[in-house]
Amino acid sequence: MNPFFSHFQKLLLRPWPFRWFLATHMPLGLFMGLRLIQFQSYRSQVTVPFKKLNQNHLNGLHFAVLSMAAELSTSVMAFGQVYKREPKIIASITRCEGQFYKKATDKITFTCQDGKLIETAIEKALKGEQNVMIQCTAVGNNTHHEMVAAFTITWSFKVA
């Protein structure tokens, strides 16, 4: 595990540093109202509110808003594992697939539990393996605990 992970974790769990992170890495996330509600080395949860700005013409949450929340639920763990890491690790998303099961008409919480998978992939990259690719899953549930969407996000890690 990255020795600086806990420092990164403490930063993002505070409101203003998290807003700064969004402003510099995912600016639209600020306007959409994304919130990081849980962030550990193995699991993270991100919520997105149901508000007028996030709605599509069918009065549901727009798919782009849902995909931003899903991406953020995986990327905070990836960023935490590469934060201040030497040698520098490049993390990039190579693919994003979404499946939608129900119309999103209230607050949605995306949960990703692939932190150990991310950590293992980065360790492989540090050992010399080129372009380590993994698939992380982020599942979005509404306030009634019904699955609304599931995203599979493919990450690539390599030493810079």
pLDDT at residue 1, rounded to an integer: 85
Pairwise CA distance, residues 25 & 55, whole Å: 23
pLDDT at 51: 96
Give Cα separations from 82 to 33, 52, 97 (angstroms).
25, 35, 24
The class that CATH gives domain 5-159 is alpha beta
pLDDT at 44: 98
**CA 42 – CA 118 distance, rounded (Å):** 9
State the average pLDDT over residues 121-127: 95
| pLDDT greater than 90 at residue 125 | yes
Q: What does the pLDDT look like over 36-83, one tens digit per residue?
A: 999 999 999 999 999 999 999 999 999 999 999 999 999 999 999 999
- Region label for 95, one of left (φ > 0), alpha (ψ between -120 and 50) or beta (otherwise): beta
CA distance 149 to 157: 26
Amino acid 20: pLDDT: 96
Assess whether the previous peptide bond of 87 is cis (omega < 30° from 0): yes
User: Could you tell me where the DSSP H helices lie in the chain?
Assistant: 5-12, 15-25, 27-32, 63-82, 115-126
pTM above threshold 0.85: yes
Q: Residues 87-107: pLDDT tens digits? A: 999 999 999 999 999 999 999
Instruction: Please give the C-alpha separations between residue 142 and each of 12, 70, 98, 110, in angstroms, as whole numbers.
Output: 24, 13, 16, 9
| pLDDT of amino acid 70 | 98
Structure tokens at 93: 């998303």
* Confidence (pLDDT) at 155: 98
Q: What percent of the chain has pLDDT over 70?
A: 100
